[in-house]
Amino acid sequence: MEIGLVGLGRMGGNMRERLRRAGHTVVGYDRNPELADVPSLDELVAKLAAPRVVWVMVPAGEPTRQTVRHLGELLESGDVVIEGGNSRWTDDQIQAAELAERGIGYLDVGVSGGIWGLTNGYGLMVGGAAEQVAVAQPIFDALKPEGTYGFVHAGTVGAGHFAKMVHNGVEYGLMQSYAEGFELLQAAEVVDNVPAVFKSWREGTVVRSWLLDLLDRALDEDPELSSLRGYVEDSGEGRWTVEAAIDHAVPLPAITAALYARFASRQDDSPAMKVIAALRNQFGGHAVSARAAGQSGQPGEPGQPSRPSQPGPSGAPDHPGPSG
């Protein structure tokens, strides 16, 4: 089968290679001319025979919207656009409606597998009309892992990226659980080989998973993860998952806490914890850690503990009370 592929970065480039290994013809475009097969979207479309299938694999948001809009001006009725990035599912519905006015089909595909997809295959979650899914099925079959699993036609337009969004939310929760387990094992003096504990979990346990395999690999390279800083970004899907949960009145305590843990990781000195420290100091005389003059406030650099010199406005005594 012939397909156009827009975006040839880490994911898109490996997808092009996997498709070619399966015998498909791929015409790729990227803004980086060293990666591209053609110099423009116009030429990519011109090289494909109708009915065309073009897969978009560029960053979510405005880059994707601009690319889909441009393709809508170049493609013809009967062609199909596949949006395989991490677009918000509501964007898919807007883009599909705009393309439908020109008779162009639209599929949204949540893609999982990262840099390992070239060899292991990609998990694919597809949204769109069944007849358009059938057109692209040879491509999906080539990209998915071998065997029964790794592909789903999840529903109508938007369903693919909605399923991928929830997948990423679950991923947040799983990673946070492993992370908290790692920290507790490290803190306990009774355990003297934390990496070996995680390695032992890879077989025969109920917590075994590919994420655990990757954590074991990371611990083999750096047993205490001492080369890393505990700072974690989020790419957006976790936030969208929590927002969708609010919209549907579905409680997501674990995923929400995992997202908030990432926010906390970016704070060198938490304003919220300063407020709590100040309040405990005021109502109960609890010791606080004051920042010394000239200190940066970096973690692990506390100032000298101090207590209030007189009761707070509520009459709290100048000694620790029973609460707080």
* DSSP character string of 114-162: GGGHHHH--EEEEES-HHHHHHHHHHHHHHSPSSS-SEEEEESTTHHHH
Is 43 an annotated catalytic residue? no
Tell me what percent of the residues of the chain surpass a pLDDT of 90. 80
Active-site option among 47, 171, 180, 189:
171
pLDDT grade for 294, boundaries at 50, 70 and 90: low
Which has more confidence, 294 or 20? Answer: 20
Nearest Cα to 15, choosing from 124, 95, 96, 166?
124
pLDDT grade for 318, boundaries at 50, 70 and 90: very low
158/108 Cα distance (integer angstroms): 6
Summarize the confidence of residues 212-223 as an average pLDDT.
Answer: 95
Mean confidence (pLDDT) of the chain: 90
Residue with tokens 């001319």: 33
Residue type, 9: G
Tokens of 191: 């355990």
Residue with tokens 């407020």: 275
Summarize the confidence of residues 6-20 as an average pLDDT.
Answer: 96
pLDDT at 247: 97
Is 164 an annotated catalytic residue? yes
Q: Is the pLDDT of residue 319 over 50?
A: no
Phi/psi of residue 108, each to 5°? -105, 135
Summarize the confidence of residues 10-32 as an average pLDDT.
Answer: 96
pLDDT in tens, 178-211: 999 999 999 999 999 999 999 999 999 999 999 9
Which has more confidence, 88 or 299? Answer: 88
pLDDT in tens, 123-172: 999 999 999 999 999 999 999 999 999 999 999 999 999 999 999 999 99
Q: Is the pLDDT of residue 67 over 90?
A: yes
Residue with tokens 């200190």: 295
Phi/psi of residue 27, each to 5°? -105, 115
Summarize the confidence of residues 205-222 as an average pLDDT.
Answer: 96
pLDDT at 287: 77
DSSP 8-state secondary structure symbol assigned to residue 247: H
130/132 Cα distance (integer angstroms): 5
pLDDT in tens, 271-281: 888 888 888 88
pLDDT at 292: 62
Instruction: Return the bridge partners of 126, or none.
Output: 109, 153
The structural domains of the chain, ordered by start, are 2-157 (3.40.50.720), 164-265 (1.10.1040.10), 270-324 (no CATH)
Contacts of 83 (CB under 8 A, 6+ apart): 56, 64, 68, 92, 95, 106, 107, 108, 109, 161
Residue type, 48: L
pLDDT at 296: 52
Summarize the confidence of residues 55-77 as an average pLDDT.
Answer: 96
Instruction: Return the bridge partners of 105, or none.
Output: 80
Burial class of residue 85, CB neighbours in 10 A (0-12, 13-18, 19+) = buried
15/18 Cα distance (integer angstroms): 5
Active-site option among 144, 164, 203, 243:
164
pLDDT grade for 55, boundaries at 50, 70 and 90: very high
Tell me what percent of the residues of the chain surpass a pLDDT of 70. 90
93, 122 in Cβ contact below 8 A? no
Question: What's the pTM value of the predicted model, to 2 decimals?
Answer: 0.86
pLDDT at 295: 56
Q: Report the SS3 class of residue 25.
A: strand
Contacts 24+ apart (CB under 8 A), 220-227: 220/195, 223/194, 223/195, 224/186
Strands 53-56 and 25-29: unpaired
pLDDT at 324: 55
Summarize the confidence of residues 282-305 as an average pLDDT.
Answer: 62
